[in-house]
Structure 1
């Protein structure tokens, strides 16, 4: 099977075609969700990445996963209601649970190790800002915006302009959530653990990084597949 991507391919289109490539973009710190509407070449230049290295990793993922990918229909071919249900069941519920479960660990680590590792105090601040904003964001999506999108899909929406404006507002909220996650990654030096990191410390960094990945896929599915249908 011929490798279908080049440096001229939009980042978001690569992930749309083969979701597993998101792991490569995450590794190279390329924003494929909020900032995915640019050619790969532009992302490579902006991040100072070795073009040959990233293209080789994308080829490896393509050869390994292209034939086995089973969820492409959810990403690109399903109707909006199916996508919305997938977002709610897979991303909203999972994110809510993880935010609630992770909170006491973030608090504990910052309290116990904050004096010797002051970056943890900033992590604590950023995490709780992210938690508050994402919880409110998801609640608004489910109560207001997703029902409007379903009405856009079936042609029954009463005020199309208002509905579009609300989608645009969601995208701005996505941008801000992404910025908070980038700040967490920066202040933790890409989740690099100090030599004296205890088990809870390690747990927090691992789960924060996993939460970042979950959020990026959540935002990608909305920003790059669901929302563009209505602009």
Structure 2
């Protein structure tokens, strides 16, 4: 099967293990999920066919866990809440604390991520508002099967995911691609390690919503849905 003509979001959804390969290749399968593998690889000067072969050769497993794309809708929502919403609420306060310390202690260093605390604080407010809207309005609506009325809120959530994508770009710029200086202190190392984890979690979170859960409402990515 030639998957190079498929959208990145559909590949991430339908091929277990694909998200890790796409992430390693720096191909955006969450906010940029509508772009095909061939298009995205061409833009970055990558070999789309080699990436496709790597994806298709990956074992049909995801750490022994079921593919989220196969979960019933209510179970998928519960997974998103437990694995991502709750975790983000733990991650961001600690990242903000670490960023404040690094900026305060190393403000004169050429590689100091100046403005990172402000960026993370803004993201915390943005993401908290976004998750509250999903938890209080959209997810209960979807769980009750009120899919027609859910289309408009889903569109809003997709747009807010685009805003999250802008944040991720800004995060890379502010941290110089998470590049640590020689001899970076333990706090700085812990900060960038935590940021990498948060960034990866947020991308996977957006992917599960955009390409799997929301697709069951608006069919944006095509393919079969599960209820």
Q: Which has the higher helix share?
A: 1
Q: Distance in 1 between matches of 2:171 and 2:198?
A: 11
Question: Residues 37 and 48 of structure 2 are in contact (CA less than 8 Å); yes or no, is this contact kept in structure 1?
Answer: no
Q: Which residue is 2:204 aligned to?
A: 217
Q: Which residue is 1:29 aligned to?
A: 26
Question: Residues 9 and 29 of structure 2 are in contact (CA less than 8 Å); yes or no, is this contact kept in structure 1?
Answer: yes
1:100-143 alpha-carbon deviations (Å, 9 max, x no partner): 22221111111111222365122222211111111121112111
Q: Which residue is 2:75 aligned to?
A: 82
**Pairwise mapping of residues 5-20 of structure 1 onto structure 2 (< 5 A)?**
6-20=3-17
Q: Which residue is 1:137 aligned to?
A: 130
Q: Deviation at 1:79?
A: 2.1
2:60 to 66, 74, 88: 66
Is 2:154 the partner of 1:167? Answer: yes
2:101 to 84, 108, 113: 108
Q: Distance in 1 between matches of 2:53 and 2:102?
A: 38
1:140-163 alpha-carbon deviations (Å, 9 max, x no partner): 211111111123x2x4x7xx34x3
Worse-superposed segment, 112-121 or 132-141: 112-121
Q: Deviation at 1:87?
A: 0.5
Q: Which residue is 2:187 aligned to?
A: 200
Q: Deviation at 1:67?
A: 4.8
Question: Residues 18 and 69 of structure 1 are in contact (CA less than 8 Å); yes or no, is this contact kept in structure 2?
Answer: no
Gaps of 5+ in 2: 219-227
Q: TM-score, normalised by structure 2?
A: 0.86
Question: Residues 17 and 72 of structure 1 are in contact (CA less than 8 Å); yes or no, is this contact kept in structure 2?
Answer: no
1:14-66 alpha-carbon deviations (Å, 9 max, x no partner): 2112343222222222110111122100111222224455345435xx33x32
Q: TM-score, normalised by structure 1?
A: 0.85
Q: Distance in 2 between matches of 1:54 and 1:119?
A: 35
Question: Residues 88 and 198 of structure 2 are in contact (CA less than 8 Å); yes or no, is this contact kept in structure 1?
Answer: yes
Corresponding pairs, count: 218
- Secondary structure (helix, strand or coil) at the match of 1:8 reads coil
Question: Residues 5 and 14 of structure 1 are in contact (CA less than 8 Å); yes or no, is this contact kept in structure 2?
Answer: no
